[in-house]
Structure 1
Amino acid sequence: MENWNGWDLLEWLGPDSATSIFNCIDDPADLVRATAVSRSWRQFVIANGFSKRLCIKLCPEVSYFTSIKEITPPGTTTLDESSSTPEWRNHETDHKIYAYLSQHLFSTEGTRSCISYTIGASSTDNYLDESIDNTLELSENVNSMASYWSSGGQVDPTVPESLMYQLAHDVVFVHEIRIEPFSAFFHYGAPIYSSKFVQFKLGYTKQHVPLSFSERHQYLDLIADENYVWTYISPQFPMQQENVLQSFKLPRPVLCIGGVVKVELLGRVQKCYIDNLYYICICHVQVRGRKLSLHKSYPLLGVDVSRIADGGGAVLNYCPMA
């Protein structure tokens, strides 16, 4: 309650003690409820940025946002907010957006496959027939042909490989990644070309590069780490040498800022009897998550990374009219 024997609890505690107490809150819904107690409580919560602090604690990737920018669609009007200062409006926007992001961490809404297109692979044995694009097919056989990606062959089984994808949205909470190693049924014994381990990197490009289907294969360095800001790197997961869709659940929902996912395949286990080289072959990849964009033309949340090349950070675009 706000008052106890006529005293405002916040005033009675003092700003230092009240701040210590609010910093101990670990449920974003409790902060939202606190703003409904009274005007003074609302001002205290918003002015001190408790929602942002908690959101960063729960989801460290949020710290990569340098600012939040409000986007107004053409033809719309905004409410007259002349009674409040620009600084206070920024505090209110931060509170609203970071509380919204935190709530999604606890959402029970189902996940879905989020990949939009492939960016590239570290190597490919037979480019057209065994390209990374085949990993987006749901079936191992397409038009009576085996559908899979194959790495180039290596004498050294420790040489890693990587596959890179662009998600359909640039603000996605990723929960798990599913990978199905390929079983070469046309080889004796139907060997399975899995990797020993797998690791995932999530982030965004440092600068815009055209990635249309006809253009992206001209940029062989697109998958190089120096072209990206990785806001999250997962632990290594062991991969089973089984021809099944294997699920690799992240320790917590991870906010993928920018929508780029890199799948790193570490260690080789299977030699090809034809050339005695080690290969990794994958027939299907899924990135499962929940998008935060609610409108096609003007998403509620979007990321602007155009300032990265100039030394700026990622800007979170917010459209209140969506």
Structure 2
Amino acid sequence: MENGSDLLEWLGPDASIIVFIYLEHPADLVRATAVSRSWRQFVIANGLSKSLCTKLCPEVSYFSGIKEITPPGTVQLDESNSTTEWRNHERDHKIYTYINSFLVSTEGATSCISYCIGASSTDHFPEESIENTLKPTEEADWGSSYWSSVGEVDPAVPESLMYMLNYDLAFVDEIMIRPLQEIFEIRDYIYSSKFVRFKLGHSKLPITPAVFNLQQSHQIADENYVWTYISPQYPMEEKNVLQSFKLPRPVLCIGAVVKVELLGRVLKHDFDDLFYICICDVQVRGRTLLPLLAADFSETVHGHGGGVLLKYNPMGYVESDQNWRPN
């Protein structure tokens, strides 16, 4: 500007806010903070990184607050209210800028399922249990390795598979599923579903690695979970390949629970005239926010409390309960 005057001063705070909210890419906001000290202070003081993050990743609105972790022996400084307020603004800016960085790249995504929680039904237990979907190949030592639903007369009866991820806070980019194929002389059978849908969230009840039995449906009932994201339905192909279902954007899974809903049955088996769904491989690909960020459910366990806290670890300090899940 003429005479070196600042654009923010020329526009005024209200008009400047309107201009800045049109920045829709996290990189643009980062560049804005590098223009000048006044621009950086304006972005931080007005919480623009958090506003953009909430817009691009609505799941962050589930956090009721931030719990900052400090290493043992840290001396708490006697600060003025204004100094403390500014420090909190800077902390929030760092946190949400970090989260925003996961929204612009999917590099580093890995398979991140820790264990199975349960299945809505199982035909032959334990030979056809959900645990078989985590084996890397279709063939195990004892034969085909897969999960099978029970047979149903009605092809509209859905099925569900539920998994716990390795991290209580992770961005999920895609989920991969391979339906079972059985080859016979007369015909080949592909036990796919018509559609698939995904739910991400956390449990209201204690969860531990499942002791598998035939009564798993209560473990995965929706009323026992808080779903912070529900995907659209995706069509599943009748092919024995690892099919990729990429989410519309990277989704923040708060609580490590992923539910795979298999909607609509395709195959009616000749020997009993019942419809089945059989899956031999499930992968959830995502990225952890550790060691900087984690989730704290201590105020929400068993369905009580006000909300989930976002745990912030500025020095990469790892608490013993950093990977805490409701248990």
> Structure 2 length as normaliser, TM-score?
0.89
Q: 1:58 to 1:288 in 2, by over 3 A?
A: same
Gap regions ≥5 residues in structure 2: 317-327
Quote the Cα distance in structure 2 between the aligned partners of 1:266 and 1:196: 6
The offset of 1:286, in angstroms, is: 0.5
Equivalent in the alignment of 1:312: 306
Relative to structure 1, is the Cα distance of residues 171 and 185 closer, same or farther in structure 2, using a 3 angstrom cutoff? same
1:15-26 map, 5 Å? 15-26=13-24
Separation in structure 1 between the aligned mates of residue 196 and residue 215 of structure 2, nearest angstrom = 27
Aligned amino acid, residue 233 of structure 1: I
Q: Does 1:255 align with 2:249?
A: no
1:287/1:215 CA distance change after superposition, 3 Å: same
Tell me, yes or no, if structure 1 residue 164 matches structure 2 residue 162: yes
For 1:33 and 1:63, the matched residues in 2 are separated by 25
Partner of 1:273: 270
The 5 A counterparts of 1:143-222 are 143-185=141-183, 189-207=187-205, 209-214=206-211, 220-222=217-219
Q: Partners in 1 of 2:212 and 2:144 — Cα distance?
A: 26
**2:122·2:214 contact (CA, 8 Å) conserved in 1?**
no
- Look up the match of 2:320: none
CA distance in 2: counterparts of 1:165 and 1:263, whole angstroms: 8
- Cα separation, partners in 2 of 1:239 and 1:314, compared to 1, 3 Å: same
CA distance in 2, matches of 1:145, 1:4: 78
SS in 2 for 1:320: coil
The equivalent residue for 2:40 is 42
> How far apart are the structure 1 equivalents of 2:215 and 2:75?
44
Contact 2:125–2:213 under 8 Å retained in 1: no
Which among 48, 53, 56 is matched to residue 55 of structure 1?
53
Give the distance between the partners of 1:56 and 1:216, measured in 2 at CA. 41
C-alpha distance in structure 2 between counterparts of 1:307 and 1:256, whole Å: 18
CA contact (8 A) 1:194 1:239 kept: yes
Instruction: Look up the SS of the partner of 1:91 in the other structure.
Output: helix
Residue of structure 2 equivalent to 1:72: 70
Partner of 1:98: 96
2:284 corresponding residue in structure 1? 287
AA aligned opposite 2:292: L
CA distance in 1, matches of 2:154, 2:216: 26
What one-letter code is carried by the residue in structure 1 that aligns with 2:264?
Answer: G
Aligned-pair CA distance for 1:78 = 6.3
Q: CA offsets, 1:281-321, max 9 Å, x none?
A: 0000011122221xxxxx32111123222241111111111
Counterpart amino acid of residue 114 in structure 1: C
**Where in structure 2 are the equivalents of 1:237-252 lying within 5 Å?**
237-252=234-249
Q: 1:244 to 1:142 in 2, by over 3 A?
A: same
Worse-matched range after superposition: 284-293 or 262-271: 284-293
Over aligned residue pairs, what C-alpha RMSD do you find? 2.2
Percent identity, aligned pairs only? 65
Q: 2:231 and 2:246 mapped to 1: Cα distance?
A: 10
How far 1:99 sits from its partner (Å)?
0.7
Q: Assess, with a 3 A threshold, how the Cα gap between structure 1 residues 270 and 200 changes in structure 2: closer, same or farther.
A: same
Contact kept? 1:161, 1:264, Cα under 8 Å: yes
Distance (Å, rounded) in 2 between the aligned partners of 1:270 and 1:101: 43
Counting matched residue pairs gives 313
Question: Counterpart of 2:309 in structure 1: which amino acid?
Answer: V
Which residue of 216, 220, 224 corresponds with 1:223? Answer: 220
Contact 1:136 1:284 (C-alpha < 8 Å) held by counterparts? yes
Q: 1:22, CA displacement in angstroms?
A: 0.8
Query: Are the aligned partners of 2:125 and 2:214 in contact in 1 as well (CA < 8 Å)?
Result: no
More moved, 30-39 vs 101-110? 30-39
Write the deviation string for residues 1-51 of structure 1: whole angstroms up to 9, x where unpaired: xx6414232122111101101111112233233333444323221111100
Deviations along 1:124-174, whole A, 9 cap, x unmatched?
A: 111210100000001111113210000111111100000011111122111
What displacement does 1:80 show?
4.8
* Other-structure match for 2:233: 236
Shift of the 115–186 alpha-carbon distance from structure 1 to 2, 3 Å rule, reads farther
- Give the counterpart letter for 1:176 in structure 2: E
TM-score (norm 1): 0.90
Instruction: Show structure 1 runs of 5+ residues with no match.
Output: 294-298
